Amino acid sequence: MATEKKGNDKYWLKSGIINVLQNLTGVLFGFGGFYLMVRMLDKHSFGVWTLFAATTTIFEMVRSGLIQNALIKYLSFSEPEEHDKILSASFALSGGLTLVCILVNLMLATYLGRIWNSPDIVPLFWVYSIVYLFSGILSQFHWMEQANFRFNGIFITNFVKSGVFFCFLAFCFFFNVKIRLVELVYVQAVALFLAICLEYFFVKDLLNFTLKITGEWVKKLLNYGKYAFGTSIGSILSSTIDQMMLGSLLSPAASGAFNIAVRIMNLVDIPTNAIAVIVFPQSARRLATEGEAAIKYLYEKSVGTILAILIPALLFLFLFPEFVVSFIAGDKYTETIPILKVTVLYCVLIPFGRQFGTILDSIGKPKITFALVLLSAVINLVLNYILIKRMGVMGAAYATLISNIVNFAISQTILNRILHVNLLHTFIYAFKFYPEFFAKYIKPRFT
């Protein structure tokens, strides 16, 4: 038992460090690129890029939502002789979905350029078809690694992918090279291709295929993934609908100003994303071996850990928003300051919602997650339409805050009924995090 506990601690520590580093480097590269772009591009061009990125994120989530969790779940605890059939089915589904999304992307490009009054966005969507094809292959490789509790390749290839894009922006910035937005999409394609070539060496031992696509596994993946698919779509719509509606109801520049607050909050969202990646395969396995009591503990402990890491950063952002916005985006985006203060308030609730979806998906209840996310997306959509028309950019911030509060209240009620989760325990674990971390990892270094 002691050996098993030590092994679990080692898994959590090693996996946690790798995933935090992965998210940290990804966000820092993303932040660094944003820092340069916001200074190289005018407000309109930056707003156009913001709308393009928000839209293409939806396409990425469509594919990952349908396949990712289902593939990880079945590879995590299915018999090894079934793995080749599972992989073949997942690659077939991913390929078919990629082609459908590329067609939709090409058909929507001109329409979106018209409603956002930005014809320069159209060629970005056309070139993005190449990017989407490459990202599908890389994502499949990453999910295979994650299902096998391996994260090294994910970290290294994401570092390369983000690093290439950042280096291009840095070169243009320091050598005063004028950039066109479509060139940025081409650079993304090159970065993804390099990452695929590198990731192959990390997963080649896992690439066992059968040429025959098994209908049984295609059906299983679809049946499990369809609710996660809906959940992903609802979730990404909830997080991007404000920027899209700002672009159509006001202007791309308004969307860009709001996106700056979102970018800043991404810096404090690193531990939430990292721990979610670790929790999903662990909770799927623990349910099968230890039962629901272990899942309850996993939720409360993971949320408490995230809160302990987030709260100091959020307090700093709330108390000094003027300094943060000025340092990150310069003086031309002063309208972002009040947006950031509201954004900080709902960011406290994000760990609860993110881990809610992770836990319920892993225990086979994706229908509930789907229903809640869909409800939250509808509430967010309606509130954004009403409040943006009445309050402008601040209306989008308040709409997202209200929808997150509603989502939080409902999700905690559901968790209490299904797993008897105690909300107070998450804050107790958050409080205990600091002395536990010191006792386990800091004090031994000095004794």
For residues 58 and 233, is the Cβ–Cβ distance under 8 A? yes
Residue 5 lies in a domain: no
> DSSP secondary structure string, 5-28?
HHHHHHHHHHHHHHHHHHHHHHHH
Would 210 be classed as within a structural domain?
yes
pLDDT at residue 2 in the model: 46
What pLDDT is stored for residue 12 in this prediction? 47
Please report whether residue 118 resides in a domain: yes
Q: Does residue 3 lie within any of the structural domains?
A: no
Asked whether residue 4 is domain-assigned, the answer is: no
Q: Is the pTM of this model over 0.75?
A: no
Would you say residue 6 lies in a domain?
no
Taking the C-alpha atoms of residue 71 and residue 94, their distance in angstroms, rounded to an integer, is: 11
How high is the mean pLDDT of the chain? 81
Q: Is the pLDDT of residue 83 over 80?
A: no
Q: Cα 440 vs. chain centroid, distance in angstroms?
A: 30
CB 153 within 8 A of CB 141: yes
Can you tell me the distance from the alpha carbon of 432 to that of 426, in angstroms, rounded to the nearest whole number?
10
pLDDT on residue 92: 85
- Residue 441 is given by DSSP the state I
Least confident of 34-48, 330-344, 376-390, 402-416: 330-344
Cβ atoms within 10 Å of 393's Cβ, excluding its own:
20
**Higher pLDDT residue, 4 or 56?**
56
Across the range 212-222, mean pLDDT stands at 78
Q: Is 421 a residue whose pLDDT tops 50?
A: yes
Q: Which two tokens stand for residue 277?
A: 């990646």
Residue 1 domain flag: no
pLDDT of 140-158, one tens digit each?
Answer: 888 888 777 676 788 888 8
Calculate mean pLDDT across residues 394-408.
Answer: 90
User: Within a domain: residue 446?
Assistant: no
What is the number of domains present in the chain?
A: 1
Which of these, 103, 124, 102, lies nearest to 113 by C-alpha position? 124
Give the mean pLDDT of 80-105. Answer: 85
Question: Are the beta carbons of 374 and 230 closer than 8 angstroms?
Answer: yes
Range of the domain at 149: 12-441
Model confidence pLDDT, tens digit, residues 286-341: 554 565 677 788 788 888 888 888 888 888 888 888 888 888 877 777 888 888 88
